[in-house]
Structure 1
Amino acid sequence: MSKTIAIIPVRGGSKRLPEKNIKFLDGLPLIVHSILFAKANIDIIDDIYVSTDDKKIKEIAIQYGAKVIDRPAELSGDFEPTVSALKHVLSTIESVENVVLLQATNPFRPANLLKEAFGIFNNNNCDSLFTVTRNHQKFGKIVNDKYIPFNYEIGQRSQDLEPLYFENGLLYISKATLILDNSIISENAFPFQVNHPFANVDIDTQEDFDYADFLLKSNQ
């Protein structure tokens, strides 16, 4: 039977914020926020898998009801792409049709995000979908000590900028066949817009962590 699974890839090593994935945020280890989001969507997600090379992460994941796939050392390096961890998980499971990728470093998501996104994914027969957020900043490049505006003209108002979007990392949905072909996002991927403060949370440093804590308390 075809099914939809959630995969949360979580490595043990973190140079800029040691043990960040099990650091407590709002009373829970960071990875648990993504596990609980998946568990809140059991009408869509059949199984939740955590891919990790770390014993502590494994114990926490099991404690909160996720299944764990032990990630080999050769797939756990700093420069190893996420897709290789997803492929490894799929190599151990049969009959998977869709994969919901949840990144532990993006712990907060609007409650109805997956329901809305998965509906679009199915109704549009997508092979992949990812979340984006509109950017309102003025970007430019510096070439030979000269500033060159990229998405605006000097003096132009911010509200008149041509819309640009960034990949916020909150959610990815992909066909398993696409991942096995070494991609998470295809050229035809659907860009699902999320305009929410949580879209600006991506934890990699202590400052990111502190901002996430502040934002969560502000939204409670």
Structure 2
Amino acid sequence: MHGLTLYSNPQSRGRLVHWMLEELHTPYETVWIDYGEEMKSPHYRAINPMGKVPALVHGDLLITECAAICAYLADRFPRAQLAPPVDDPRRAAYLRWLFFSAGPLEQAVTANTLGWRAEPGQERMLGFGSLNDCLDTLEQALLGGPWLCGDHFTAADLYLAAQLGWGLMQGSIEARPGFAEFVAAANARPAAERARALNDQAAAS
């Protein structure tokens, strides 16, 4: 298997994939893609037809979508211990919260930010139900702490911390008990600090 190459932009969701890569302590290359013409160019669409970042190339393999990239890397590099093994009972909670963060939570926050509201009776058609349902569920999940799978930090914590941190900073997620503390603990990890510095430097250049 050849090396890892991440296609990203420093002002995108690719920041959380950089954090994931830094947690692995494995060499990787970053290709910065500008928004606009470059991201929608035939050259980049040959890598990701969506014309969006991030995209990860690992040898001959292409992985897109942040949660899929995180899940792939956690399983492909088990020495980093970012995912419980398949036969570990904690695997159920790990998968649940990784995809909850990438699915219902992100959809609910985006809909709320854009001012979209379901008509009465339509919430049952929505995978996320309502933003309040998502935040209530998340608040309960964080009560057991310190991490979603107990005492062990995983890719699910990384993904959720990135989502929560952005939402709290932008005001698109209301502050609930435990939210800020969870984000602060995750962001204090050396890999998170390295990823922030890398992206901040790229954004400033």
* Structure that is richer in helix per residue: 2
* TM-score, normalised with respect to structure 2: 0.33
Q: Which structure: larger Rg?
A: 1
* TM-score, normalised with respect to structure 1: 0.31
